[in-house]
């Protein structure tokens, strides 16, 4: 298991809050004051929503396979829907969180333990390690001055299968987990069976924005696009088109998955959306109230295993184990810590 070093999630308490605010105020007093006010709200919000979730849990809906697109907006999926036969009516639900950490700790709560015990999850999102293994819960990365959250997620062993693709398939050059790795592991899990439900969590279209060549090699187009947009270094049109292109990349992979998986009721959804400057919000801050972040797609489709793809046999060498990227390095590449 990768060791979590190089980051400090779950920063809470008045002293840490003052420290974080002062660090920002050194560069921009206005931004520092806004940060302080926002994380005061975050502390209160998490105190309430950790007890009474604000949103629709995936376990309140019926599905056999659930495909999670990380940071996918409803309008983005609608914009490319006509390019993919399996994306028809793009409905939406309100997510239980605006970050992956919130979504995981809310979704995999012990209230859902009976269903989780019959669920296999194949995930490229490192927050399965941060939240479920290391028990480091929101608020993460910036401190709230006062908060009393009542998080109670299951342990990793509660799942019928938990395959953390991020743990051995992280692409340090691209700064992400390539979608083919997730597809291959999901197909293998689906064919192995032994569970009632399957969750497949891709990292895309979450930044960095990528492209994939004919050989399946991933390359980064924009590493921190929304920070560049916020600084005025990247136009909104360029950032949006790169985001849509990254969404197209992962949807192509999902098409392959659907042709190699047996599941009558398949759902395409997201853990949270993404903000491109709406009301001053960028990316997907914790407890973000804006609908572009909190509303996520809900698309129903189906899957049939036509045996058109054979995933390569999974082999982990000692050399690969030694060279794996730390959780902290992955979080930094994804823009959570600096």
**What are 265-287's pLDDT values in tens digits?**
999 999 999 999 999 999 999 99
Q: What is the pLDDT of residues 170-199, one digit of tens each?
A: 999 999 999 999 999 999 999 999 999 999
Q: Are strands 275-276 and 282-283 parallel, antiparallel or unpaired?
A: antiparallel
Rounded to whole angstroms, how far apart are CA atoms 60 and 49?
17
> DSSP string spanning 270-313?
ES---EESGGG-EE--TT---HHHHEEEEEEEEE-------PPP
Q: Which helix (H) or strand (E) holds 197?
A: strand 197-205
Q: How many CA within 13 A on the CB side of residue 140? A: 28
The counts of H helices and E strands in the chain are 13, 13
Identify whether the C-beta of residue 303 lies closer than 8 Å to the C-beta of residue 258. yes
The answer to whether the pTM exceeds 0.85 is yes
Given this model, what pLDDT does residue 324 score?
59
Rounded to whole angstroms, how far apart are CA atoms 180 and 212?
10
Length of the chain: 338
Handedness of CA 135, 327, 257, 102 (dihedral sign): positive
pLDDT-derived band at 215 (thresholds 50, 70, 90) equals confident
Given this model, what pLDDT does residue 28 score?
85
Q: What is the pLDDT of residues 42-85, one digit of tens each?
A: 999 999 999 999 999 999 999 999 999 999 999 999 999 999 99
Tell me what the mean pLDDT of segment 303-311 comes to: 95
Instruction: List, in order of start, the domains of the chain with CATH numbers.
Output: 62-142+153-311 (3.40.720.10)
């Amino acid at each position: 298991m990768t060791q979590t070093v190089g980051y400090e999630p779950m920063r809470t308490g008045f002293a840490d809050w003052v420290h974080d605010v002062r660090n920002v105020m050194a560069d921009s007093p206005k931004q520092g004051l806004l940060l302080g006010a926002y994380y005061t709200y975050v502390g209160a919000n998490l105190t309430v929503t950790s007890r009474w979730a604000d949103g629709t849990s995936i376990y309140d809906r019926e599905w056999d396979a659930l495909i999670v697109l990380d940071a996918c907006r409803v309008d983005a999926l609608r914009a490319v829907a006509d390019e993919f036969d399996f994306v028809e009516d793009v409905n939406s639900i309100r997510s239980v969180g605006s970050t992956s950490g919130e979504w995981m700790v809310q979704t995999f709560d012990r209230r859902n333990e009976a269903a989780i015990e019959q669920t296999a999850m194949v995930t490229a999102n490192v927050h399965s390690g941060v939240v479920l293994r290391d028990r480091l819960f929101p608020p993460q990365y910036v401190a709230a001055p006062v908060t009393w959250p009542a998080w109670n997620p299951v342990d990793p062993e509660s799942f019928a299968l938990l395959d953390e693709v991020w743990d051995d398939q992280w692409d340090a050059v691209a700064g992400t987990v390539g979608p083919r790795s997730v597809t291959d592991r999901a197909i293998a899990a689906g064919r192995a069976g032994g569970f009632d439900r399957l969750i497949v969590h891709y990292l895309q279209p979450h930044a960095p924005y990528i492209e994939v060549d004919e050989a399946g090699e991933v390359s980064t187009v924009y590493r921190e696009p929304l920070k560049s947009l916020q600084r005025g270094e990247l136009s909104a049109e360029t950032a949006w088109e790169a985001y849509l292109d990254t969404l197209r990349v992962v949807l192509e992979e999902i098409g392959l998955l659907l042709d190699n998986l047996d599941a009558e009721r398949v759902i395409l959804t997201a853990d949270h959306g993404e903000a491109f400057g709406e009301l001053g919000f960028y990316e997907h801050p914790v407890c973000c109230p804006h609908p572009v972040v909190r509303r996520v797609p809900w698309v129903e489709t189906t899957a049939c295993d036509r045996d058109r793809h054979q995933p390569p046999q999974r082999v982990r060498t000692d050399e690969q184990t030694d060279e794996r990227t730390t959780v902290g390095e992955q979080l930094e590449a994804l823009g959570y810590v600096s």
